[in-house]
Structure 1
Amino acid sequence: MGQITLKNVSKSFGATTIIPDIDLEIEDGEFVVFVGPSGCGKSTLLRLIAGLEDTSGGTILIDGRDVTGEAPAKRKLAMVFQSYALYPHMTVARNIAFPLKMAGESPDVIEKKVADAARVLNLTNYLERRPGQLSGGQRQRVAIGRAIVRQPSAFLFDEPLSNLDAALRGTMRLEISELHNQLKTTMIYVTHDQVEAMTMADKIVVLNAGNIEQVGSPLELYRSPRNLFVAGFIGSPRMNLIEGKTAAEHGAKTVGIRPEHLSVSTTEGAWKATVGVAEHLGSDTFLHVHSDGVGPLTVRADGEIGAHHGDTVWLTPDPSKIHRFGADGIALQ
């Protein structure tokens, strides 16, 4: 079991409030991602759940049991950090086995659990190597293996892929997602990368200055952001946000349209625009344009489009995909 409940949880350092007051329900077996910009409180919230930070107020329940005042070791949680924190003089097998040895498990149990974890993580052929002989992705898998053998109620990941290059991050995203499918264990994953959040999560928690802005599935947040912060943070490239006359025409202070919801023509359309930078990425081309009376826009176009710097194009937003926001930044119905 791995149901985690936060009731009125807050955290302050002296007079500075980091987490004002949070309520959150994480169901057993869910993959939940905390996402937000640097300094939004996502790692602090994870550390509160882990017991690595004391709460200033509120209650944390794990499977209905109040663990607010309990030490980390008693919460049956396993944490994987950005730093691999492996012992360089130990083999992969001994690194994975270390928490079991410290817990006093028998050699037979340790051997079986290490072998099972290594099989799940494709590390069987590397058990006798030392960390210095492994790639960054393999080292991270060893760190995850050390967590798996403890058979925790939930895994807590604190930006575990930040030290990897782009290709390895993509691979490890898939591996962690597949691991969740195999283990069916609750996972809470912290990242500032909304692409990681969108591709991995069952449920995303968007944080801003310690507050939860919105909770929902990736598609819920993409299709129906509840405010300007979520609209601008979720989606890559980010949503175009437009004010002035164009917004007023739609009865709003601000309107949003995603780059993929703007059609492009060289002959006609709603908004005339001039191409600045064209990023040709193969399957897609991102056009960064300026339209008089509308402002700067990003457009996601077909990869074969022949637009270049200085070209004139015409853009037409999909009327069913326009998001409207009031003066308070909250989405209008």
Structure 2
Amino acid sequence: MGSLELRNIRKSFGAQEVLKGIDLQVKDGEFVIFVGPSGCGKSTLLRSIAGLEDVTSGTVLINGEDVTVAPPAKRGIAMVFQTYALYPHLSVRDNMALGLKQAGTPTDEINTRVAAATEMLSLEPYLKRRPAELSGGQRQRVAIGRALVREPELFLFDEPLSNLDAALRVQTRVEIARLHRQLGATMIYVTHDQVEAMTLADRIVVLNGGVIEQIGSPMELYNRPANLFVAGFIGSPQMNFIEAARIGETGATIGIRPEHLSVSPTEGRFRGKVIHAEHLGADTNLYLETETAGLVTVRLFGEHRYAADDIVHATPDPAKIHRFDESGRAITA
């Protein structure tokens, strides 16, 4: 379908350098997700791949072809935005077909491609409707359909689910995953939502301050974060960070995921008081003020009847402890 290679991509807006030398290779058929906090450069990087931003320096290659200065229409990409960007006066069918008509695609070919996208996205009941008559999830499916009919080398998604409510986000996320499996297409996806990244991506690119902190599969990032930033960004609730000297451990900082702590009312490594308990049904989150480790979050599976002011003891799984040096890098030995 389409490969992507970025070589030392830099982008500045005046004196502000937003991308600081990005190198990345995406293979045919991969689903790669850019994540990071607001202002990290992930959307700017996606727009640079699309040709919507001119890079300050560096090279963009799609299928081995240098497209660094090529306009978006010549890059073989299709982009899905969070705002849908549908024409309000056109029907669903006409919104999907418009780009092909403007490109001079024969009518029979347009009909074939629109029919295939309609079936794939279950849009048949809505073809004659206009965007105002659709729900947010339906509009996003039309936007995806409009990208599908172009048969691009790369699909680019810019936070496509951020305007949807929680239930629709889950439903549309499943549809995008199914679509990727059906098409075998190369997809680049930007989100600030780590759940989307963990559930959709073949590989995740974690960005921070215009640089790549780590690239890896979801479970590689979860199990082997390269540094404190990745360790704190991946995982919910966030990893606990404890000054190693406070608890007699080696390294500068100890990291323990909330789900890797067990709790006992009578004994354990960290004694503390429950300052808040979140009862979520499937999970129970406890926030403990401990005597040695400070504030510690514990995630327990299922319902546990702990409450504020209870005294409990938390113990980490020794095999799941992460250690970081003074510079914040993971200690792997």
Range into which the TM-score falls when normalised by the shorter chain: over 0.9
**Cα deviation, residue 244, structure 1:** 4.8
Match of 2:74 in 1: 74
After the TM superposition, which parts of structure 1 deviate over 3 Å for at least 4 consecutive aligned residues? none
Equivalent pairs counted in the alignment come to: 332
Match of 1:104 in 2: 104
Query: Any conservation in 2 of the 1:40–1:210 contact (CA below 8 Å)?
Result: yes
**Cα deviation, residue 13, structure 1:** 1.2
Stretches of structure 1 that go unaligned for 5 or more consecutive residues are none
Q: What is the letter of the counterpart of residue 105 of structure 1?
A: T
Query: Any conservation in 1 of the 2:239–2:257 contact (CA below 8 Å)?
Result: yes
Query: Any conservation in 2 of the 1:245–1:293 contact (CA below 8 Å)?
Result: no
**Cα deviation, residue 246, structure 1:** 3.6
Match of 1:132 in 2: 132
Distance 2:202 2:50 in 1: 20
**Cα deviation, residue 113, structure 1:** 0.9
Deviates more, 1:290-299 or 1:144-153: 290-299
User: Identity rate of aligned residues, in percent?
Assistant: 62
**1:313 paired to 2:325:** no
Query: Any conservation in 1 of the 2:244–2:250 contact (CA below 8 Å)?
Result: no
What whole-Å deviation, never above 9, does each CA across 1:66-100 have from its counterpart, x for those lacking one?
Answer: 11111110000000011111111111111111111
SS at match of 2:144: helix
Distance 2:90 2:15 in 1: 44
**Cα deviation, residue 297, structure 1:** 1.0
**Cα deviation, residue 133, structure 1:** 1.1
Relative to the length of structure 2, the TM-score reads 0.98
What whole-Å deviation, never above 9, does each CA across 1:176-216 have from its counterpart, x for those lacking one?
Answer: 11110111110000001111111110000000000000000
Match of 2:225 in 1: 225
SS at match of 1:34: strand
Match of 2:291 in 1: 292
What whole-Å deviation, never above 9, does each CA across 1:194-250 have from its counterpart, x for those lacking one?
Answer: 111111100000000000000000000000000000000000111001115345x22
SS at match of 2:195: helix
Q: What is the letter of the counterpart of residue 157 of structure 1?
A: F
Query: Any conservation in 1 of the 2:280–2:303 contact (CA below 8 Å)?
Result: no
Match of 1:119 in 2: 119
Distance 1:52 1:238 in 2: 34
**Cα deviation, residue 166, structure 1:** 0.9
RMSD: 0.9
Distance 2:6 2:181 in 1: 25
Relative to the length of structure 1, the TM-score reads 0.98
Distance 1:78 1:206 in 2: 23
What whole-Å deviation, never above 9, does each CA across 1:299-325 have from its counterpart, x for those lacking one?
Answer: 111322110011011110000000000
Query: Any conservation in 1 of the 2:244–2:251 contact (CA below 8 Å)?
Result: no
What whole-Å deviation, never above 9, does each CA across 1:259-311 have from its counterpart, x for those lacking one?
Answer: 00000111111111111111111111011111012011111113221100110
